Structure 1
Amino acid sequence: MMLFHHRNRDRNADTRRVYALFEIAHTAVDFLAALCFLVGSVLFLFPAFETPAVWLFILGSVFFMAKPTLRLVRELKLWRMGKLDRLARRETGDP
């Protein structure tokens, strides 16, 4: 079973649930990153708010960095779930 393969997410109800939860988290992080950059950009228009603007850009960057991390963690979890399924089938003698 390979990482980042569509079969991993559709294996059973549990893998579909895990995939959906990670997609929700990924979308939320994406939205938060965009919001940080938007608000930070507006704050840069006012010199008095330059420091909070910089912090929002840093926070937005952290959120953007979290996106591929979430995807990798999701794929590793789905991959592990597949390994457990194969082990359970082997132990019970199912094909």
Structure 2
Amino acid sequence: MTEGMRFTTPRHKEVYVAYGTAYDCVDALAAIMFIIGSVLFFKTATVTAGTWLFLIGSVFFAVRPVVHVVRDVHMKRLPKE
């Protein structure tokens, strides 16, 4: 993931990797919510639950770019030495 990248300090690399992991988790959760929501749409009795999972999945997808912005701000605030 960080192969070939240059980091100012080892802490910069740690922070970068941690945010990458957070991003991947958010992405996976969004996908899982959409898959389960899709399955729940097959039965009339579970359509409401499926709708909620679609909404939750959408929120996770909206959080993805926020993770990158927060990472960038965090990286800029780290000491350079």
How high is the TM-score relative to the length of structure 2? 0.89
Q: Distance in 1 between matches of 2:52 and 2:16?
A: 31
2:48 paired residue among 34, 47, 51 = 51
Where does 1:27-46 land on structure 2 (aligned, <5 Å)? Answer: 27-46=24-43
Structure 2 runs not aligned, ≥5 long: none
2:74 is equivalent to residue 77 of structure 1? yes
More helix by share: 1
**SS of residue matched to 2:17:** helix
Q: What percent identity do the matched residue pairs reach?
A: 38
Given residue 47 of structure 2, which amino acid in structure 1 is its aligned partner? E
Q: Distance in 2 between matches of 1:73 and 1:58?
A: 23
Q: Distance in 2 between matches of 1:11 and 1:26?
A: 22
**Aligned-pair Cα RMSD in Å:** 1.3
Q: Distance in 1 between matches of 2:8 and 2:54?
A: 39
Q: Which has the larger radius of gyration?
A: 1
Q: Distance in 2 between matches of 1:59 and 1:11?
A: 37
Paired residue total: 77
Q: Distance in 1 between matches of 2:43 and 2:68?
A: 36
2:68 is equivalent to residue 68 of structure 1? no
How high is the TM-score relative to the length of structure 1? 0.76
